[in-house]
Amino acid sequence: MQTHFLKSQSVNANVHPISSHSAPQTAKVSGLISELIYSESQSGMTQMLLLPLLQQLGTQSRWQLWLTPRQRLSRSWLQQSGLPLDKVMQVQSTDAITTVEAMIKALQTGNYSVVLSWLPDEITEDDRHRLQNAASCGQALGLIMRPDPSNISQRRPFSGLKIQSNLYH
């Protein structure tokens, strides 16, 4: 059975529990970087873990920024998932260095409740520290999504040939 691994590093995070006797409150996060290592063959599990958090953050007045590697987000999927179309922004990134830099800049602005990015490999301790500082500065959540490296080598062919599909666009 494949499981998902979640690694979080907090910078002065303040999360207030929701009491069953009071009205729901939005948790205030003053800076958090979290990493989710997922199995590409079990995307449903990732959605079950991620969607409730993104739906909760969607109630804030700030935007959600998705730094995605290849595919465009489906408008119908966003609607079906209960995510606010008017608060989700997507930027397609080309490489890990550019993605980390874009993530740092976005987190620092304070315009986003969450910045999600997909990275193929672990980031350096220096980049992690810079991301933590940026998240703290912008009082935002940074989510780094990484595929499980043990699954990638078993499933993918050794050839570098990739076939592009128009189904995702």
**Regions in the chain scoring below 50 on pLDDT:** 1-6, 8-26, 152-169
Give the pLDDT of residue 104: 97
Residue 127, Cβ neighbours under 10 Å: how many? 19
Give the pLDDT of residue 88: 94
Task: Please report where in the chains the tokens 């595929």 appear, as a residue.
Answer: 147
Task: Please report where in the chains the tokens 């953050």 appear, as a residue.
Answer: 57
- CA 2/CA 127 separation, integer angstroms: 28
pTM, to two decimals: 0.71
Q: Which two structure tokens, joined as six digits, stand for 91?
A: 């930027």
- CA 129/CA 149 separation, integer angstroms: 23
Give the pLDDT of residue 73: 85
CA proximity to 106, closest of 74, 147, 137:
137
Q: Which two structure tokens, joined as six digits, stand for 154?
A: 């078993």
All structural domains of the chain, each given as residue ranges with its CATH number in brackets, are 5-9+27-150 (3.40.50.300)
Give the pLDDT of residue 42: 74
CA proximity to 1, closest of 146, 120, 148, 157:
148
- CA 168/CA 57 separation, integer angstroms: 26
Residues 142-164 have pLDDT tens digits of 999 988 877 644 444 444 444 44
Give the pLDDT of residue 141: 96
Give the pLDDT of residue 147: 86
